Structure 1
Amino acid sequence: MNSRIQAEQQKSSQDLTASARTSAPVLEVKSAAKAYGDHMALRNIDFTVHSGEWWGIVGPNGSGKSTLLHLLSGVLAPSSGSILIKGKPVKEYSRRALSRLIAVLQQDGLPEIDYSVRDVVAMGRYPYQDWLGRDQSDGEEVVDRVLEQLELSPFADRLLTELSGGQRQRVALAKVMAQEPEILLLDEPTTYLDIHYQLQFMELLADWRRRTGITIVAVLHDLNLASLFCDSIYGLRAGESFMQGSPDECVTEEHLRSLFQVDPVMIRHPQHELPQFLLKKKD
């Protein structure tokens, strides 16, 4: 992506963030905790996400990131505290109503199954189908538009088994785009992608947000990518809140050393002036 487009996307992101701060919260986590027997996976989690923001959830393995995402999606119920979606407890939504508001993309994307790309993307229209499986809106037009936006139209009749991992992840994104949610939750979506597809995937998300104002909450391992794309970062350590704020506030030498037990070298991105880091090699 050239520097002009990157600059435009960065300005758009800043505009979205500024307008989001004046809007009502779409997602609120209030003193949320999750226990499995005697084990407290999460405790005292508090943060608020406004419409159009992009939040990155970071932390070491076992810190509770995926559990937090499951609470946000309604898959798990908090042991205490509350999760509010647009001011209403998530538990009060029906599954169909919730699926019209929230889409979830897991890290493993889509399995290699004998379904065509178009059929898989059309599965995203499930929340809008009646009991006979008929889409109650312009479903086919939505699917066609999403395929075109993600440059998947030439692959529409191809089976998933014929696609690369990066292409399948793009189809997985197309499926949740066809769902037309207001909030997108992602669990380490770039884990199995090479650096080309990682950047492409994040840029596709940024473009979707620029066009629609969708709210994104993503669990991410790559803090450099999180710094480049996210407005706010929420860090977890051992199930508790460790840090919360902008990339400048969170991606620091002190935080990285404490959170991940690494010795970083901090730099600034030459185009965006956002914090990035390198890792020192032990002598």
Structure 2
Amino acid sequence: MPETALGSFPDVGASYYLSRLPGFFGEYVGLMGARLDGAEMLACGLATHFVPLEKLSSLDDALCKATTGDPKIINNIILHDFSNKNPTLKEKSHYFRLKTINSCFSRRTVEEIISALEEGDKKMDDWISWTIQALKKASATSLKISLRSVSTYTALRAGVYLESDILPHREIDAVDPKSRHKGNLETEILLESKGVNYTSIRPVYIYGPGPLNYNPVEEWIFHRLKAGRPIPIPKSGLQVTQLGHVNVSKSVKLIIISKSLR
């Protein structure tokens, strides 16, 4: 690998990043399984800094010698001393095909995408011909699921809501723009601005076994119940919540995908 792209990435699925790519580049990358190099990631906005391979060792030394944990200072070390702000895209970069990608991969179905590509293939374009053949060789079901996962975002958290003692809690309740899950709200705004159809799921507290449940923070509740110990109730005691099993959350997502494929 000739270079490294650096950035700050939230703990979300791949569809989150693909949905944030310019135009319909995310649909192209998701369906084609395209691999982006450091320069392309910087151009797409997935990365914030580009560090050439030959500078990585020096960057590592500089970070080790830093006497502060201030993110601004650390960022300045990378940005001003080691990063390349304008790396050159390779001649055959996918990014140079963004105009054609936006035109063809903006379609709602895989079949429509292929038809749009075939219409453009009348110009005897080798890249378009290769793209068509790659799509036709791939699993039709996998392509449909990939397209759906990129064009929709279906895993938002209930933590985005503004705290309230008014019950019951409803999906239309006010949200907190300062929530630690505000990235989820920003994703909704982005999808709406692009005119993308999406389904927003806001599960409450999820429990169940890993690896399906990557963050079993509610496990302590069940340990206390089993041990016969009391469960502490915060504040006024009106903050009633729900616990949903991880398999239920998984089933809901599968139902949404299966219905969209019909």
TM-score range, shorter chain: under 0.3
So what's the TM-score if we normalise by structure 1?
0.26
Q: Which of the pair has the greater relative contact order for Cα pairs under 8 Å at 6+ separation?
A: 1
More strand as a share of residues: 1
More helix as a share of residues: 2
